Structure 1
């Protein structure tokens, strides 16, 4: 089995609500609705550019899909994640902008955030 580690804002966070409206899918309730035109993009263009994101829902990938080492279990992964989360300080990203990563649009830091880079290394 493969695992991945993602972050998503809680259901009631404004960013989660805005993303769900824009993508046309609420990942918490799985409700869908037709996407709407945005600015100069038609509804069809928005649907095309958000198809992958709509399938997965609004999230940040902390650790891409991986397989557990042979001597590890899902329970040990959960315990390690709990311990990591308890001992890790929040990372503040001052400003996000729209950028592209591997051919898809993403919210990315406007400028380098050393604490975020340290966090990414610690997650791995």
Structure 2
């Protein structure tokens, strides 16, 4: 059994954004409980559970440091202490707006415009916490290489354990798995309509540590470290 961890930016569980994302994927990572999908489009599609299987495994989130197993010599307490110290020095900031878009083959919430603060946070998380990361397994590397990656992204995968970092980073909060091309626009439009009533600036005020007990288990929130810088 290999426990994995991930560092995410995610709204608190009492935020309407958290409810929207968790309801959409049918899982609340704060309580580790399955959720019934809301009524109406797009949730009434008979295959909606299958279409959200992938994001349901990870919980509603936006990645800062992608999932990793701990390197030899480190324990969970070490990672938690480092995350707490990191957050204590970090200032909170606000992303002005999020929007629902079709991103490649899936639908996600993304910043409506680039946030330099968000990019800087992700860049620092990639670097600061990489010492805790066990080397990427051959199986995980092979799985990543099934996606079309540039030479730079392959190099980043090998160095940092994840191809989409630094200049290739795009913060997104995944709402679906891969969709057939003809369904992407309708699903994005339906989710955008659902999101519109609760749309608000996204306050990034904590580093959220998620934990996965085993590969066949869902991620859950282990701890939330408020930014105090």
Return 68-77 or 87-96, whichever deviates more. Answer: 68-77
Aligned to 2:52, what secondary structure does the other structure show? Answer: helix
Q: How many residues align?
A: 123
Aligned to 1:28, what secondary structure does the other structure show? Answer: coil
Aligned to 1:61, what secondary structure does the other structure show? Answer: strand
Of 37, 40, 45, which residue of structure 1 is paired with 2:40?
37
Aligned to 1:44, what secondary structure does the other structure show? Answer: coil
Cα distance per residue 1:28-56 (max 9 Å; x no partner):
330432453326x7422543432222333
8 A contact 2:23–2:37 mirrored in 1: no
CA distance in 2 between counterparts of 1:94 and 1:28 reads 25
Q: TM-score, normalised by structure 2?
A: 0.46
Q: Which residue of 1 aligns with 2:53?
A: 51
Give me the CA root mean square deviation.
2.5
Q: Which residue of 2 aligns with 1:93?
A: 95
Describe the shift of the 1:7–1:119 C-alpha distance in structure 2 as closer, same or farther (beyond 3 A). Answer: closer
Higher relative contact order (CA 8 A, sep 6+): 2
List alignment gaps of at least 5 residues for structure 2.
127-229
Describe the shift of the 1:86–1:123 C-alpha distance in structure 2 as closer, same or farther (beyond 3 A). Answer: same
CA distance in 2 between counterparts of 1:97 and 1:91 reads 18
Cα distance per residue 1:46-69 (max 9 Å; x no partner):
434322223332112221112334
CA distance in 1 between counterparts of 2:88 and 2:25 reads 31
CA distance in 1 between counterparts of 2:30 and 2:117 reads 29
Q: Map of 1:41-80 to 2, 5 A cutoff?
A: 42-80=44-82
8 A contact 2:22–2:60 mirrored in 1: yes
Aligned to 2:19, what secondary structure does the other structure show? Answer: helix
8 A contact 1:35–1:43 mirrored in 2: no
Q: TM-score, normalised by structure 1?
A: 0.78
Cα distance per residue 1:60-101 (max 9 Å; x no partner):
222111233434332221111000011111131111112345
